[in-house]
Structure 1
């Protein structure tokens, strides 16, 4: 019997994940069954369960993929050479988020992950680990800003990074629920707050 190539396995797995995302976006987690995903993917029951044993496995796989994509962007911001001014790094992060808050964007899925994690301890632990990793990127941004003299020497990069990270889902949530504000308006508000705390513009 011929061996199935790694490329074929990866493509089939992605086919199932894409089908699951469409179902979750259309109907939400709770209203989506594994059979819905199987039908959407156009595959047999055995083919789907070969890759994913439960809806939970689908959710965590999608969430990890989504956050990995976002994390790549934030890593690039923290590793830019020369270092980006803090405000410019935030502007780029907000524009990435803006592009991901439309009907096909990752943040509509992320909101469902947040809600589901309130009732699923395993997913909550998973989300905490992944979001903690993303938050660490903003801590790194704060440290670089401090080294560049943008933040005072006595500022706590962990605390500043946590606040900067918190600004991102807050922006995304407003975009999804209300359609605004736009990145410039939001950044103007962030700039005013940072300036009041000693960040030089």
Structure 2
């Protein structure tokens, strides 16, 4: 029997994840069964279970996709050379959010991941680790802003970074659940909040 290529295996795995994502977006985690995913993928039971032994494994894999795409962006923002002004950095993050809050957006899955993590200890540990990493990116962003003089020298990067990160899920929750505000309006609010710290430059 010819050996199946790594590319084929990766493509088949992605086919299953894409099917699961469509099911979860359409019906939610709890109303989706493994059989639903199998039917959506158009594969045999054995083919799907070869890659994922349970719905929880599917959820975790999709959560990794959601989180890794955001993590890559936050790393780019944090390490940008020269350092981005805080408002510009937040604008880039919010632009990413706008691109991922539509009917098929990955951030709609993120909300379901949060809810599922409240009942699944393994997923809760995963979410805690990843979101702590997100927060640390924003702490680093605040440290660079302090070092460049944008923030006062006595500013607390831990406090500032934590607050800045909190503005990101706050924005996409409003976008998804409350149909607004638009990015320009939200960014104007962010700019006003930063000015109140005060922010120099």
Residues 139 and 161 of structure 2 are in contact (CA less than 8 Å); yes or no, is this contact kept in structure 1?
A: yes
- Aligned pairs (5 A) from 1:68-147: 68-147=68-147
1:10-89 equivalences under 5 Å are 10-89=10-89
- Deviation string 1:49-94 (CA, Å, 9 cap, x unpaired) is 1110110100000000111111111111111111111111111111
Tell me how many residue pairs correspond in the alignment: 201
Q: Distance in 2 between matches of 1:41 and 1:106?
A: 19
CA distance in structure 2 between the aligned counterparts of 1:85 and 1:62, rounded to whole angstroms? 32
Deviations 1:5-45 (A, max 9, x none): 00000000000000000000000000001111011001111
Q: Which runs of 5+ in 2 are unaligned?
A: none
Give the TM-score of the pair, scaled to structure 1.
0.97
Flag structure 1 segments of 5+ consecutive residues without an equivalent: none
Deviation, 1:153, is: 1.4
CA distance in 2, matches of 1:73, 1:98: 13
User: Bigger shift: 123-132 or 11-20?
Assistant: 123-132
Secondary structure of the structure 1 residue equivalent to 2:62 = helix
Please tell me whether the aligned partners of residues 152 and 200 of structure 2 are also in contact (alpha carbons under 8 angstroms).
no
Deviation at residue 200 of structure 1 after TM alignment: 2.3
Q: Secondary structure at the match of 1:151?
A: coil
State the Cα distance separating 1:152 from its structure 2 match: 1.4
Q: Give the whole-Å Cα distance in 2 for the aligned partners of 1:153 and 1:61.
A: 41
TM-score, normalising length: structure 2: 0.97
What is the CA–CA distance in structure 2 between the aligned matches of 1:156 and 1:163, rounded to whole Å? 11
Q: CA RMSD in A?
A: 0.9
